[in-house]
Structure 1
């Protein structure tokens, strides 16, 4: 795709000063096919367009900067797709736990975790280490399990990790995480020691754009709901 066409596509996303879900998906689908020169061109053009928009109407500064942030993150995460190898992992055994720890260690920008409970100290340690590195970590969990013996949720919250809980009579029973808004980990696996030692569980890892975005949107909706 020529630079002129790329610029036109980018300008179109700025018309309402918002990168919509559909536009984000299209941009992430495009990113893996871009050359380094084309990706550099789009990033630079995004900054140029943002500066021009702010100069034209300073009252829109926050919205324009939010658009620019989303464009840059989407280009970066979309470029990762080719490097994400889909995989399946099973327990009993250390496969699932090891994969979660590896993804926490490899995260560069953000980790969004949506799980029923967290009581495996090795997983909690990996989460906290990511937080210490400056990774934006958010956790959604269920209040019924937070008071269980061995739960690490309160400890993580006390250490500054952002946590929100489902306080309703029902259960927030999801078990997924999104890393850098580009890699999805999802499955039956509870983030507990017994899940690794005894239970028949699984997690699947995927970088498929539409699936990752669907789970990211669900996370954002739950984050708002439980705020």
Structure 2
């Protein structure tokens, strides 16, 4: 609604798990998403790029369990080279899937 561009890449095996909101976000808000579509591999990367300037990355699985009870770690940086590298990796994955 504010001109924010949101895209999600997630693991195909996790898409239907309880507590996964990706499909709902796609349906309710029109957020495009892709999955890795490979049952032999996990999409295990966990990061968010904000305004192409900041990066959040960590162990947090973006699940109900992580929100409510897990011990998780995360780091946020606004280093421009780091943001560029993560942006390039996201685009590579988006194009791959």
The runs of 4+ residues in structure 1 deviating greater than 6 Å are none
Q: Which has the larger radius of gyration?
A: 1
1:105-144 → structure 2 map (5 Å cutoff): 132-144=1-13
Aligned length: 95
8 Å Cα contact 2:19/2:64 also seen in 1: no
**Which has the larger share of helix?**
1
CA shift, 1:199, in A, is 1.3
Partners of 2:45 and 2:18 in 1: CA distance: 21
User: Match for residue 37 of structure 2?
Assistant: 167
- Indicate the residue corresponding to 1:179 in structure 2: 50
Whole-angstrom CA distance in 1 between matches of 2:72 and 2:19: 20
Q: Does 1:214 align with 2:85?
A: yes
CA distance in 2, matches of 1:212, 1:163: 20
The alpha-carbon deviation at position 221 of structure 1 amounts to 0.1
2:47 equivalent to 1:195: no
Where does residue 96 of structure 2 map in the other structure?
225
1:157 CA drift (Å): 1.4
Distance 2:74 2:46 in 1: 9
Helix, strand or coil: the match of 1:200?
coil
Tell me the secondary structure at the aligned position of residue 191 of structure 1.
coil
Q: 1:153 aligns with which of 22, 29, 34?
A: 22
- C-alpha separation between the residues in 2 aligned to 1:204 and 1:142? 22
Cα offset, 1:147, TM superposition: 0.7
Pairwise CA RMSD: 1.1
- The farther-off stretch of 165-174 and 188-197 is 188-197
TM-score (norm 2): 0.90
Using the TM superposition, give the Cα deviation of residue 150 of structure 1 relative to its aligned residue in structure 2, in angstroms. Answer: 2.5
Partner SS, residue 184 of structure 1? strand
